With several copies, the nearest count.
Chain A
Amino acid sequence: MRLGFTAAEEAFRAEASAWLEGELAGPFADLKGLTSLTDAPERRREWEQRLGTAGWSCIGWPKMFGGRDATLAEQVIFAEEYARAGGPPRLNHMGVELIGPTILAFGSDEQKVRFLPAIAAGTEIWCQGYSEPGAGSDLANVRTKAALDGSEWRVDGQKIWTSLAQFADWIFVVARSEPGSRGPKGLSFLMLPVDQPGITIRPIHQITGDAEFNEVFFDGATTAADNMLGAAGDGWRVAMALLGFERGVSTLAQQMGFRNELTAIVRAANENGRDRDALIRQRLARAEIGLQLMRYGALRMLSTPDSAAALTYKIQWASWRQALGELAMDVLGQSGEVAEAGSEAAMLANLFLYSRADTIYGGSNEIQRNIIAERGLGLPREPRGTSNA
């Protein structure tokens, strides 16, 4: 058990830090410190490409696909330095962190060559189609259909809560490819180009008024027959593995955003004097402790991939961030009600509102507790009703 880094790793840190600082003080200074997931999409696409050309986009991947075969420690270091330098949220998070590793694990050699370099280069942005209307947290209840029609899959149905679909070039979906199948059986994992007549995207306006999420309608959407990951009927297994990658190094990238938010709250408390309030101090300390424990939980997950910490991570960060949003508003007080657009206070007010979704999407807290109890503790499964498959 060791938390420190070697001299070689520290040298890597210096190199990464120098490059990031240079870019974010120079050509991409406008993106430094950005926190919004929806702002400046075009500039963030350019940033993805800059990371790609410099070889900093997907450093853990094999060199042949655009990575640099970085060790786990180097990936951890890069995530830390990215945060310290104020790097913006990755526009291609879904590509880099989710579909990329899944293609590495399940893809054919042709699929790897076709898709991975384009992700690493930042030229193809991805989004995810898992949830469906009426299914909510019940992921196995997929109704979107896929049928093989000659050399193409034809997809009909609807996905919802698709994050950032408006900026994406590709979408991956789980669809029912065996008519009449139920639950997790008979599903396939397909990758489709977004820009086609069979796909329509409609933004969902949230509690903030913004639209990060979308409904995606598939009406005879097509994709080449070989744009399937795994075999037909393997979709559930691939989809579950992909969700596992959510708990990889990408958690450190996510935590970098959390760190920025907490720092903004501390700054606000410093400015308005709430940092002297004993109650606020306790809550700031809780937030700091919680964030540190996310970091060390992530390092445990990375050091021991099947650790119990992995099962508990979603509810941990979601609950933490929701509490952070409430803390932000309590620090701001009434001025949070009237935060000026574009101000840091407005960012925090947005955090407050947006974080209500954190405990819902990607498996609500209730679903997470079921999963923890059933898979982590071996307790009896929730009885499934009979009125509906």
Chain B
Amino acid sequence: MHFAFTDEQAMIAETARGFFAGAATSERTRAAMAGGGIDRALWTAFAGEMGLAGVALPEAYGGSGLGMVEAAIVAEAAGALVAALPFLASSLLAGSAIAAGGSETQRETYLPAIASGTRIASFVEMGASGEGLAPHGAVADLFVVAIGGGVVIVDAADVAVEALPTMDATRPLARVRLGSAAIEPLDPVPALRAARSRGAVALAADSLGGAQALLDRTVAFAQDRVQFGRPIGSFQAVKHRLADMMVAIEQARSAVYWAACAIDEGSPDVALAVHSAKAFACDAYFDCAAAAIQLHGGIGFTWEHDAHLFFKRAQANRTLLGTPDQHREAVAALMLPRAA
């Protein structure tokens, strides 16, 4: 029992943070937002030189063979800069599904390209309508599609993909329709479980990174900005709201890494941990984003300030892969089996 990063994990965290801080600038992110929600150069460096797209994919298929803790570390670092790249869609959702539910051939066929970033995958759960919303779907080369009781792989050329203007333009959604496309089935139960749980934890980690970045930026602003002759950070209303952000973030941190460990260790409480992390961290991110805008005052809701990028991503994180209410209801169902 040691609930702190190993030296190797601390190094990965530092590397990932450094990478994003240098590369995922506001200018580049805004350019990506206007161009499909992907910074191609960032993605190439991230997946290629850095080898981070495959951080949690098996070594045998071109990944680093590390765990969900390491993937969460990377997602947290990406979230801190609201980086515009399909790490969630390609690696955590589609990649996890293929790794967990694919045949040997399927893994050999798809995972090396996903790990190296040369092919982008996405994931979509479809309702009875035969369509659904896929994150980064418009830039995907292939899709993992959950439909009916099955989970299948399908090439982007074989489905109808419609790019949709999305409030969070750093992770735009595309509407995907499955026609009579050629499909390859995966083992559905492990595939879906892996995609959902790893995706949820990655979103929770992204939220943690975003929330912490907003706290850091807002603290810096509150120390500099003077009103009524005092730095606004000296007003208790401001101090206390920043303190509340920290309280929420520290809990979110516990939640994210509890859930990541639970996945890696195959703990019996993995479902509880994943639902808890998704619900708590996404709510914390939203609350922190709301507070950050409020504490920045007028400048905080202008387009030129980055606060809205975080705010919109926070809202997107809440709605993707189940809302906080839905994940809490899932926790309640675990607690109250009789009444569920």
| Interface, chain B (partner A; CB < 8 A) | 1-6, 9, 69, 133, 164-168, 173, 175, 215, 219, 222-223, 226-231, 233-240, 242-244, 246-247, 250-251, 253-255, 257-258, 260-262, 265, 267, 272-273, 276, 279-280, 290, 293-294, 297-298, 300-304, 307-308, 311-312, 315-316, 319-320, 323, 325, 328-329, 331-332, 335-336, 338-339
Contacts and interface: CB of A to CB of B under 8 A. Distances in A.
A76 B3 CA distance: 12
Interface residues of A, number: 93
Interface in A123-147: 131, 135-138, 141
A360 B243 contact: no
B235 A270 contact: no
A334 B243 contact: no
Contact of B246 (A289, A296, A376, A385): A376
Contacts of A389: 229
B267 A4 contact: yes
A309 B230 CA distance: 29
B335 A288 contact: yes
Contacts of B227: 135-138
A386 to B, nearest CB: 6
Interface in A9-32: 9
Contacts of A369: 236-237, 239-240, 243-244
A28 to B, nearest CB: 28
Contact of B298 (A131, A289, A329): A131
A341 B332 CA distance: 30
A356 B301 contact: yes
A293 B276 contact: yes
Contact of B240 (A290, A293, A307, A366): A366
A136 B246 CA distance: 25
B1 A76 contact: yes
Nearest to A270: B338
B231 A380 contact: yes
Contacts of B9: 1
A142 B282 CA distance: 40
Residue of A276, A377, A378, A388 contacting most chain B CB atoms (<10 Å):
A377
A4 B263 CA distance: 12
B271 to A, nearest CB: 12
Nearest to B72: A1
Interface string A268-307: 0110010110110110111011101100110110111001
Contacts of B228: 138, 141, 382, 384-385
A388 B5 contact: no
B329 A285 contact: yes
Contacts of A293: 251, 254-255, 258, 276, 280
Contacts of B3: 1-3, 296, 299-300, 302-303
Contacts of A148: none
Contacts of A352: 315
B258 A3 contact: yes
A265 to B, nearest CB: 10
A300 B4 contact: yes
Contact of B303 (A206, A288, A365, A384): A206
A366 B237 contact: yes
B298 A207 contact: no
A4 B1 contact: yes
Contact of A379 (B133, B219, B251, B273): B219
A4 B337 CA distance: 26
Interface in A82-126: none
A272 to B, nearest CB: 11
A9 B215 CA distance: 39
A135 B175 CA distance: 45
A160 interface: yes
Given A1-B257, A4-B265, A373 B230 contact: no
Contacts of B229: 384-389
B2 A1 contact: yes
Nearest to A204: B302
Contacts of B316: 337
A341 B165 contact: yes
Contacts of A359: 294
A14 to B, nearest CB: 16
Contact of A296 (B235, B254, B315, B323): B254
Most B C-beta atoms less than 10 A away, residue of A207, A341, A378: A207
A297 B308 CA distance: 30
A131 B260 CA distance: 42
A161 B301 CA distance: 11
Contacts of B260: 1
Nearest to B1: A73
Closest 10 CB pairs of A and B: A385-B229, A385-B230, A205-B303, A373-B239, A281-B332, A285-B331, A285-B328, A372-B243, A296-B254, A380-B234
Contacts of B219: 377-379
B233 A2 contact: no
A333 B332 CA distance: 20
A373 B240 contact: yes
Contacts of A131: 298
A365 B236 CA distance: 13
A307 to B, nearest CB: 8
Contacts of B239: 369-370, 373-374, 377, 379, 382
Given A286-B328, A297-B254, A380-B233, 19 more contacts: A3-B261, A137-B227, A141-B228, A207-B293, A207-B307, A209-B303, A270-B339, A289-B276, A289-B328, A292-B276, A296-B257, A296-B258, A300-B253, A300-B254, A300-B257, A353-B312, A365-B294, A380-B223, A382-B235
Nearest to B261: A3
B173 A278 contact: no
A336 interface: yes
B332 A282 contact: yes
Contacts of A374: 239
B1 A379 contact: no
B267 A3 contact: yes
A254 interface: no
Nearest to A320: B251
A2 B2 contact: yes
